[in-house]
């Protein structure tokens, strides 16, 4: 259990780091979320140092081959959420919430603002790809900001200096502006760094509306939807769909609240939404 705690502390610090980098997102005072003076900032930097060193083009292709066969487990949406609950960080100093409650808070914030049911459902399930941790993946290959591989790494990505440790950094096949891609080829033709976003997108791509799929696939792609560093790879359709990604962004950064949602009361609502869009069981 101790190893899981340490792993999730990295994720907690990553989420806090997002808020520090994008303080304009959200209205709550920072004290309502976490102690931003916590010296755990070094953990975030260590996380990205490892992430940037190991997320190579070939690594991503190998992970796509390993995990996109969807032969690890078969579960209903709610079973998958409950399975994810084994990743509860009971070392969290602020608040005691399991994954179900956290996901419900995201979905409920979207529902309260009157968005369509598919977006509410997307808010509820957008982090579900983190079950990768339960299939043996390390945190640096599950969470964190995402970015294209196979082309030059932008200096708009957090901690860009650590890409110098990546074998692709000095590889002329991958270290140019376009790398293995063509100008404005469309993100559908671009390989993103491996993590829960890309994994869940492939699980859901046959079931949800296209805006939901863009939200799932690119919600951690801060180098583009916040910094616009990769517009040269995007086509017009990408730009249109990214309006949804940007709309979702504040809800993605909406953090845990001390007021726990009533899971028993909300479960039928979310099960009904899932039944509308998803098969009875999903393959992971």
User: What band does 9 get if pLDDT is binned at 50, 70 and 90?
Assistant: low
Determine if residue 27 is left, alpha or beta; phi over 0 gives left, psi from -120 to 50 gives alpha, anything else beta: alpha
Mean pLDDT of 115-135: 95
Q: What is the pLDDT of residue 15?
A: 72
**Domain of residue 52, residue span:** 2-283
- Residues 132 and 140: beta-carbon distance below 8 Å: no
pLDDT the model gives residue 240: 98
Looking at residue 42, its pLDDT comes to 64
- Note the pLDDT of residue 84: 86
Give residue 261's pLDDT.
87
Q: CA quadruple 20, 26, 32, 33: dihedral positive or negative?
A: negative
Residue 149 has pLDDT above 80, yes or no: yes
- Residue 149 tokens, joined: 């591989």
Tens digit of pLDDT for each residue in 96-116? 567 788 889 999 999 999 999
* Residue pLDDT, tens place only, 216-246: 999 999 999 999 999 999 999 999 999 999 9
In this structure, of 51-60, 77-86, 199-208, 238-247, the range with the lowest mean pLDDT score is 77-86
Q: How far apart are CA 212 and CA 20, in angstroms?
A: 26
Cα(282)–Cα(284) distance, rounded to whole angstroms?
A: 6
Higher pLDDT, 41 or 42: 42
In percent, the amount of the chain with pLDDT more than 90 equals 69
Q: What is the pLDDT of residue 241?
A: 98
Return the closest-CA partner of residue 109 out of 241, 226, 209, 252.
252
pLDDT in tens, 174-196: 999 999 999 999 999 999 999 99
> Would you say 104 and 263 are in contact if contact means Cβ atoms under 8 Å apart?
yes
Query: Based on the structure, what is the number of domains in the chain?
Result: 1
Amino acid 97: pLDDT: 63
The CA–CA distances, whole Å, from 18 to 91, 105, 256, 260, 275 equal: 20, 18, 14, 23, 33
pLDDT range class, residue 197, cuts 50, 70, 90: very high
Average pLDDT over residues 238-260: 85
Categorize the per-residue pLDDT at 33 as very low, low, confident or very high, splitting at 50, 70 and 90.
very low
pLDDT category at 254 given cuts 50, 70, 90 is: low
Mean pLDDT of the chain: 86
Lowest mean pLDDT, pick from 92-96, 110-114, 210-214: 92-96
Give the long-range contacts of residues 31-38, CB within 8 A, separation 24 or more.
33/94, 33/255, 33/256, 34/93, 34/94, 34/255, 35/93, 35/94, 38/13
> Does 278 or 15 have the greater pLDDT score?
278
């Amino acid at each position: 259990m101790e190893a899981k705690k340490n792993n999730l502390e990295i994720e907690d610090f990553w989420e806090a780091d997002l808020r520090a980098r994008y303080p304009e997102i959200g209205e709550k005072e920072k004290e309502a979320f976490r102690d931003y003076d916590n010296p755990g900032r070094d953990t975030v930097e260590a996380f990205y140092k490892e992430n940037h060193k190991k997320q190579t083009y070939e690594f991503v292709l190998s992970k796509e081959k390993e995990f996109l066969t969807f032969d690890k487990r078969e579960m209903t949406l709610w079973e998958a959420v409950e399975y994810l609950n084994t990743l509860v960080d009971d070392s969290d100093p602020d608040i005691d919430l399991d994954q179900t409650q956290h996901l419900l808070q995201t979905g409920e914030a979207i529902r309260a603002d009157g968005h369509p049911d598919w977006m509410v459902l997307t808010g509820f399930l957008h982090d579900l790809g983190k079950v990768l941790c339960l299939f043996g993946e390390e945190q640096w290959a599950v969470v964190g900001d995402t970015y294209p591989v196979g082309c030059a790494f932008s200096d708009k990505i957090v901690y860009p200096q650590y890409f110098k440790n990546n074998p692709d950094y000095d590889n002329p096949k991958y270290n140019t502006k376009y790398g293995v891609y063509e100008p404005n080829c469309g993100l559908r033709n671009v390989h993103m760094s491996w993590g829960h976003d890309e994994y869940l997108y492939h699980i859901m791509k046959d079931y949800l509306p296209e805006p939901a799929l863009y939200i799932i696939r690119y919600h951690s792609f801060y180098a583009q939807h916040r910094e616009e560093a990769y517009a040269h790879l995007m086509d017009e359709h990408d730009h249109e769909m990214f309006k949804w990604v940007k709309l979702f962004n504040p809800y993605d950064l909406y953090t845990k609240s001390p007021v726990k949602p009533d899971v028993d009361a909300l479960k039928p609502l979310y099960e009904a939404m899932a039944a509308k869009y998803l098969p009875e069981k999903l393959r992971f």
